[in-house]
Structure 1
Amino acid sequence: MVLQPSSSEALRLFTCFGLFLLSNSFQAVNIAVRDVNSDKSSTKLYSSQQDTRRICNVFDFRRLVPYQEGLQLQQNLQQDSIKALVGGHQTSDALILLEHPTVYTLGSSSVLSDILFELPDIDITNVGAKVVVEDYPEMPPFSIFRVQRGGKVTYHCPGQLVVYPILDLNYHGKDIERYLRNLEQLIINTLARFGVRGAREEGLTGVWISGKKVAAIGIGASRWITMHGIALNINALMKGFEMIVPCGIKDRDVTSLHQILGDSCPSVEEVKLCLKDEFAKIFELQLCDVEFPNKSSY
């Protein structure tokens, strides 16, 4: 079903990560993009269609990015595009690739029965509330955030590739269902590069291997500018999923590439390379690496 939000409304979509209500209150990020026609060897383009394809700026982090920092960058990039759209200017597409430190995020519909460990005696009912747990058995220190989205509890950790596309769907078909299916196909195609068969499950969002979820997908959009995205388990610490009911789905297991492939599992960086290539193909984009500021700039 195609959703048609008015120009003054945020598009609301319920997916695995939940119903994201997106604010327009964040300042735009200042980014330095290399000239795509530059002959500098460090500028990397992922498509040969340089003259016809829309440019997508790639923020490829090679460090752990705290959840709040990644969220802030998404919001800034989205607001940058919204301001351009409102002003009648060209919008920009972006792709953020990162891993988060171990973190649980709680949406507005999270219930205690979805959290299978004892929460600290601290109030985390308000958006932005944060708790750090340092001494849970067999787990590294982790954070718990209450975030401004609907939906249930989700889990991120090192070894899980998180993909946040900030796309203007005015250029990619104003169809949310199509966009979700494209994100699923992106993961299916990426898995196939490593000899793994991913699949869809009827009535559910995400990508599955033999009935077990390997990639969760949750998006939000405002004025057809997207944010949030995909969490693909590569060599993630799977015990973290045992401590929650992932996405509120009680009767489905979660898996990772490492559980499927064992010692032949690719690294996160190897998966990134294939995913970027498939992303450029599916969305017909020319990818360009970005020199982005450090945290203090956004």
Structure 2
Amino acid sequence: MDLWTVQLPGHVPYDEALDLQRRVRAARQAGTIPDTVLTLEHAPVYTRGRRSDPAELPFGDAWYAERGIDVVDTDRGGKVTYHGPGQLVAYPIVAVDDVMAFVQRLEDVMVDALREEGLDARGRAHEGRDFTGVWVGDRKVGSIGLHISHGVTMHGLSINIDGDLEPFTWIVPCGLGGVAMTSIERENGRAGRMKCVRARVAHGLADALGHRQRIVTPQALERALAAVPAGAGAALSTSG
């Protein structure tokens, strides 16, 4: 089976990416497209997962809006995190039958990509769901948050490449007080690694799923989605 790999251009607003994910998942649930991963960078945004607490955003939505950062509620697992330019985001929209095994695969893919950058990275999902993600020492460099509906995933992973880390200091990232967020650039001084890490993560996901990677343009994806019969997957769109 192929893994369609779609790179979205620019800094994608979160709501636009969320709408696209939902349409891709409906098509995957209907069986009209294969497993697909969207890779992108977001415009600045804080997202609140299902387990978020108001104290994780201590300054309030208006304060963040004044600094150009939207706050969005989402149905993924996990707590508050930040997305912005210089951070790789990958949304694998794939069929899974073992969620914890899939989380482990995501951590392994991220660890392998970061070790290619010279980082001594490790996953910590085995220590409890609050520690899910990828770490360098006691610093967090990558996050994972998923939502599963009728066996198909949405949302996914993020890796800090060379973006501004200050917005993480304005929240309680991932609900973990006192945790420092880091990036490839902060750890090894190397900026401009987005293209390489994105390619490694996409290829690693295909390998981890036992698929062949197939590069698909956003335009080709939209054509495939337009061919999906109206209402396909609608009955499967509730949380599961």
Counterpart residue number, 2:123: 200
Q: Relative to 1, partners in 2 of residues 1:151 and 1:190: Cα closer, same or farther, differing over 3 Å?
A: closer
| Residue 180 (1) aligns with residue 112 (2) | no
Specify the code of the residue in structure 2 equivalent to 1:144. Answer: V
Aligned 8 A contact 1:74 1:166 in 2: yes
Please, which runs of 5 or more residues in structure 1 have no aligned partner? 1-53, 85-89, 122-131
Where in structure 2 are the equivalents of 1:235-254 lying within 5 Å?
A: 235-254=162-181
| Residue 77 (1) aligns with residue 24 (2) | yes
Specify the code of the residue in structure 2 equivalent to 1:220. Answer: H
Structure 1 Cα separation of the partners of residues 40 and 184 of structure 2: 17
Please, which runs of 5 or more residues in structure 2 have no aligned partner? 227-240
| Residue 133 (1) aligns with residue 65 (2) | yes
Counterpart residue number, 1:215: 142
Specify the code of the residue in structure 2 equivalent to 1:274. Answer: R
SS in 2 for 1:133: helix
SS in 2 for 1:168: coil
Structure 2 Cα separation of the partners of residues 228 and 187 of structure 1: 15
Counterpart residue number, 2:208: 282
SS in 2 for 1:120: helix
Measured against aligned partners, the alpha-carbon deviations of 1:108-132 in whole angstroms (never above 9, x if no partner) come to 54333211324329xxxxxxxxxx8
Structure 1 Cα separation of the partners of residues 210 and 61 of structure 2: 45
Counterpart residue number, 2:194: 268
Where in structure 2 are the equivalents of 1:1-80 lying within 5 Å?
A: 54-80=1-27
Measured against aligned partners, the alpha-carbon deviations of 1:61-92 in whole angstroms (never above 9, x if no partner) come to 231111011111111111112123xxxxx751
Q: TM-score, normalised by structure 2?
A: 0.83
Measured against aligned partners, the alpha-carbon deviations of 1:160-216 in whole angstroms (never above 9, x if no partner) come to 1001001112xxxx2111100000000011011112111123222101001111000
Aligned 8 A contact 2:77 2:147 in 1: no
Higher relative contact order (CA 8 A, sep 6+): 1
Q: TM-score, normalised by structure 1?
A: 0.68
Q: Relative to 1, partners in 2 of residues 1:267 and 1:106: Cα closer, same or farther, differing over 3 Å?
A: same
Structure 2 Cα separation of the partners of residues 149 and 220 of structure 1: 5
SS in 2 for 1:117: coil
SS in 1 for 2:123: coil
Q: Relative to 1, partners in 2 of residues 1:108 and 1:193: Cα closer, same or farther, differing over 3 Å?
A: closer
Specify the code of the residue in structure 2 equivalent to 1:286. Answer: R
SS in 2 for 1:232: strand
Tell me the percent identity: 31
Specify the code of the residue in structure 2 equivalent to 1:247. Answer: C
SS in 2 for 1:196: coil
Structure 2 Cα separation of the partners of residues 106 and 196 of structure 1: 28
Counterpart residue number, 2:57: 115
Specify the code of the residue in structure 2 equivalent to 1:93. Answer: D
Shift of residue 98, structure 1, vs aligned partner: 0.2
Q: Relative to 1, partners in 2 of residues 1:281 and 1:116: Cα closer, same or farther, differing over 3 Å?
A: same
How many residues align? The count is: 220
SS in 1 for 2:198: helix
Aligned 8 A contact 1:110 1:152 in 2: yes
Specify the code of the residue in structure 1 equivalent to 2:88. Answer: L
Shift of residue 228, structure 1, vs aligned partner: 0.7
Structure number with greater Rg is 1
Aligned 8 A contact 1:91 1:168 in 2: no
Counterpart residue number, 1:127: none
Structure 2 Cα separation of the partners of residues 292 and 119 of structure 1: 32
Higher helix share: 2
